[in-house]
Structure formats: C-alpha cells, structure tokens
Amino acid sequence: MSNVSSSTQISISLSLSALIVLGIASMALTLFAQTTIATGSIHGTVTDPTAAIIRGAKITIKNTDNGRINELTTTSIGTYASGALIPGNYLIRAESNGFASVELTVVVQVGEGAQ
C-alpha cells in the first residue's frame, strides 16, 4: 500500500508543478500584453515632378514631440517605410541630388500608416 500512496503523491506533485509553470507562463503573457506600446507607421514613394521614381533618396523622419530621428533610403522602386513609430507629430524630409528638398508634416496615429 505504501507504494500506491507514494505513486499517487508523485503524480499529484507533478500535476501541481505543471499548474505552477502554466500559471507563471500566463502571468508572463499578461505582463507582456500590458507593456506593449501601440504604434503606427509612415510609408510612401518619392517621385520627381514628372512622376518618375527617385531611387536612393534620403528620407529623414523626425518625431517633433521628442526629437527622435529615423533616417531611411528609398528602395530601387522609390519606396520607403518607417517601421513601427510611436503616435505623434512627425516631420518628413526627402532629399536627393539634383532636386530641391521637400518637407511634410504628418500625424501618426495608432494602427494607421501615414503616407
């Protein structure tokens, strides 16, 4: 009888350990969800006055609320994408040799891509 009792205790002990591990894992997931920051993005295409794409243009995206700057270069098809940005006010500057620089102001909102 003592073997049966011992076996039962081990089984309960393992089950309790599994519940503790699951409980910790779910707490970690909850904490992760609470610390996630909602973001938006800025993306677009740089073209000249004739609508021809401009490859390799320098794009500077400045958050005017906190001063943070992201610098990008347009792709071979003239596009750029900022990646995740915190919501706020941004100044976008595009420049390329032989062209006048252009600046735009945009507001980035949660879940939206400004163009």
CATH number (domain holding residue 54): 2.60.40.1120
Q: What is the amino acid identity at position 99?
A: F
- SS3 percent helix, strand, coil of the chain, rounded to 5, is 30, 35, 35
Residue 72 has which token pair? Answer: 């990008």
Confidence of residue 21 (pLDDT cuts 50, 70, 90): very low
- Strand order, beta sheet including 79-81: 79-81, 41-45, 113-114
10 and 25 assigned to the same domain: yes
pLDDT of 32 > 60? The answer is no
96 and 71 assigned to the same domain: yes
DSSP 93: E
- Global model pTM greater than 0.75: no
45 and 5 assigned to the same domain: no
pLDDT per residue as tens digits for the range 40-59: 889 999 998 899 999 999 99
Q: How many domains does the chain have?
A: 2
Q: What percent of the chain has pLDDT over 70?
A: 63
pLDDT per residue as tens digits for the range 70-95: 999 999 999 999 999 999 999 999 99
Among the listed residues 100, 74, 83, 104, the one whose alpha carbon sits nearest the alpha carbon of residue 92: 104
Write out the residue range of the structural domain in which residue 2 sits.
1-36
63 and 29 assigned to the same domain: no
7 and 58 assigned to the same domain: no
